[in-house]
Amino acid sequence: MTETLLAPSLADRRILLIIAGGIAAYKSLDLIRRLRERGASVRVVMTEAAQQFITPLAAASLSENSVHTELFSLTDESEMGHIRLSREADLVVVAPATADILAKAALGLAGDLASTLLLATNKPILVAPAMNVVMWNHPATQANIATLRARGVLQVGPGSGDLACGEVGGGRMAEPLEIVTAIELALAPHLPLQGRRALVTSGPTFEPIDPVRYIGNRSSGKQGHAIAAALQRLGAETILVAGPTHEPVPPGVHFIAVETAREMLDACLDALPADIAVCAAAVADWRADSVAEQKIKKGAGGTPVLHFVENPDILATIAGRGGDRPALVVGFAAETEDVLGHAQAKRRRKGADWVVANDVSPATGTFGGDINTVHVITADGIDSWPPATKAEVASRLAARIAKVFEVQS
């Protein structure tokens, strides 16, 4: 059987192919041909450097679509804007992905059309790195690819062998057929949480004292946002209810911004029913019992005394729901001493199925930092994970959650 007789595995799938400037760009022409054979529609974007290796005309002929090269020409009415170009695709493929474009993507630079599209897209991204072995092994490139992978960017290759520069080693772009297979996998992935609904709380809450002051805490929202992103990547329809943070909203996640614990509770209850609830927010335990209508001034009446009332416990409320209690309720326990003991007690007290416990004493740098060391406490025992980035902890937690639902379905 010849390849052209194969069933069109990519029928109606829309690929946005970004060709960056490397000698492997010539292989991307073959990639376009093979994608077209499989029924995919291919839109091509070329960087300026890519045009030194292959011509836009060759890519346009093979893709049967016009090729885009300039960021600002896309502002023409007749052209598709860069946002549409980046969104009207099922998958964004970067092949070859040079050290330069990986660095731009890792940093979030948007100085040209290709990097702008990578920043503007909310679709999965697959990169096929290609470069000299020393460049590939350089700590800067390795850090960039690790950053991208932690954000969910998919990678195919590079392989090793003879490189165009005459050196031998890793850095050779995956062959077009390998890239096609990776594209097929990316577009027909096994999404274990497809059809499930997940609710995630994240960040701190701010409890007002007067119009300008509030009580807050140091939660960055990094862990909660990463969990929302990871659940969404596994196919769950994900609602993220978050207090004030500087974290970007993960692509594809429904985002509800709140300030206070009571607003967070209302937003969570509105979001139910859900199959999964992960309460990662650092909710303020107390709020001022009355909020001054005007800014409290110095001098008048001496030093102000605040009276606190307890905030509702969102985790305990969700875990204690009747008919619409999520099948799996996961809480966090931020502790500064006797981490496991406090966390086990918290799991029972709040009625959570699992508690993810972490040590947040200042020496650990967990609050606001990127690394987290957690213990997952369930009714069956304690699973202690090694220190990992918050993105890695999130992926691992989402995978563990997915397992529960795989068993159920």
The one-letter amino acid code at 6 reads L
Shortest Å, Cβ 232 to ligand CTP: 19
The one-letter amino acid code at 38 reads R
Shortest Å, Cβ 272 to ligand CTP: 14
Residue 268 known to be catalytic: no
- The verdict on 277 binding ligand CTP (CB under 6 A) reads no
Shortest Å, Cβ 399 to ligand CTP: 20
Contacting range for ligand CTP; rule: CB under 6 A; set: 57-65, 80-88, 301-309, 312-320 = 312-320
Q: Identify the residue whose tokens are 């969404």.
A: 232
- Judged by beta carbon, residue 156 or residue 261, the one nearer ligand CTP is 261
- The verdict on 313 binding ligand CTP (CB under 6 A) reads yes
- The verdict on 226 binding ligand CTP (CB under 6 A) reads no
Give 114's Cβ-side CA count (13 Å radius): 28
- The verdict on 279 binding ligand CTP (CB under 6 A) reads yes
H helix or E strand, kind and range, residue 24: none
Give φ, ψ of 106 to 5 degrees: -65, -40
- The verdict on 333 binding ligand CTP (CB under 6 A) reads yes
Based on the number of CB atoms within 10 Å of its own CB, is 227 exposed (0-12), middle (13-18) or buried (19 or more)? buried
Strand-pair category, 125-129 with 154-155: parallel
Q: Which of 18, 29, 193, 315 binds ligand CTP (CB under 6 A)?
A: 315
Q: What share of the chain is helix, strand, coil (3-state, %, to 5)?
A: 35, 25, 40
- The verdict on 326 binding ligand CTP (CB under 6 A) reads no
Give how many residues touch ligand CTP by CB under 6 A. Answer: 16
Based on the number of CB atoms within 10 Å of its own CB, is 272 exposed (0-12), middle (13-18) or buried (19 or more)? middle
The full length of the chain comes to 409
**Dihedral sign computed on CA atoms, order 95, 139, 105, 278:** positive
- The verdict on 334 binding ligand CTP (CB under 6 A) reads yes
Distance CA 404, CA 409 (A): 9
- Judged by beta carbon, residue 194 or residue 336, the one nearer ligand CTP is 336
- The verdict on 199 binding ligand CTP (CB under 6 A) reads no
- The verdict on 285 binding ligand CTP (CB under 6 A) reads yes
Shortest Å, Cβ 354 to ligand CTP: 10
Choose the catalytic residue: 140, 165, 185, 188. 165
**Site residues for ligand CTP per CB under 6 A:** 201, 261, 279, 281-283, 285, 311, 313-315, 331-334, 346
Q: Which residues are catalytic?
A: 165
